[in-house]
Chain A
Amino acid sequence: GAGVSQSPRYKVAKRGQDVALRCDPISGHVSLFWYQQALGQGPEFLTYFQNEAQLDKSGLPSDRFFAERPEGSVSTLKIQRTQQEDSAVYLCASSFGDLNSPLHFGNGTRLTVT
């Protein structure tokens, strides 16, 4: 079956540009997560949705980062006025949301800000 799909796979942005990263989760998965992985680090939590509700956005590094999931399915992570420190792999994951459920990850979007 179809897994979690992310697009684009690679994105190069000039500093100051806005970018939008898309995540299409597995059908029926209520929970959706965004993680950021900087070079040499493990993935770090950004934000979490249960259906369309954003229940935790404590990991978003600044107010330039914004995520939405308006219909409880596809999610978009938007970064405004990108900075070089935003360069990272952005991973999206989804799950059924119950205890013992693993996360199902997409391939990630590698963002490079020049």
Chain B
Amino acid sequence: ILNVEQSPQSLHVQEGDSTNFTCSFPSSNFYALHWYRWETAKSPEALFVMTLNGDEKKKGQISATLNTKEGYSYLYIKGSQPEDSATYLCAFENTGFQKLVFGTGTRLLVSP
């Protein structure tokens, strides 16, 4: 059984704080690692799809790194804003058919 773990489970920060989350996944048979942001009452929105060890991706104030050899990815948010409040999901793929195994997510709350 493939296990994808995310930590912390939830996080409450103040506006302007920088924060980061961890996603751990199996280091064997790696194909891709996805990050999604899921705001309440909306659909999950893709942030990054990462495939190469050492890869770093950036979208605005959000960035992610990938270490496939040790099986982890970090998501960083620089200068959090209230609109960054959401659940951040990572998902591991080992098949090439986008059959994703999701973690349980990190719920971020950014207070003004």
Contacts and interface: CB of A to CB of B under 8 A. Distances in A.
B98 A103 contact: yes
Question: What is the predominant secondary structure among interface residues of chain B facing chain A?
Answer: loop
B109 interface: no
B43 interface: yes
A53 B13 CA distance: 46
Contacts of A87: none
A96 to B, nearest CB: 10
Contact of A100 (B44, B49, B99, B102): B49
Contacts, number: 66
B103 A42 contact: yes
A41 interface: yes
Interface size class of B (residues with CB under 8 A): 20 to 34
Interface centre among A95, A103, A107 (most CB of B within 10 A): A103
B43 A106 contact: yes
Contacts of A45: 99-101
A42 B46 CA distance: 15
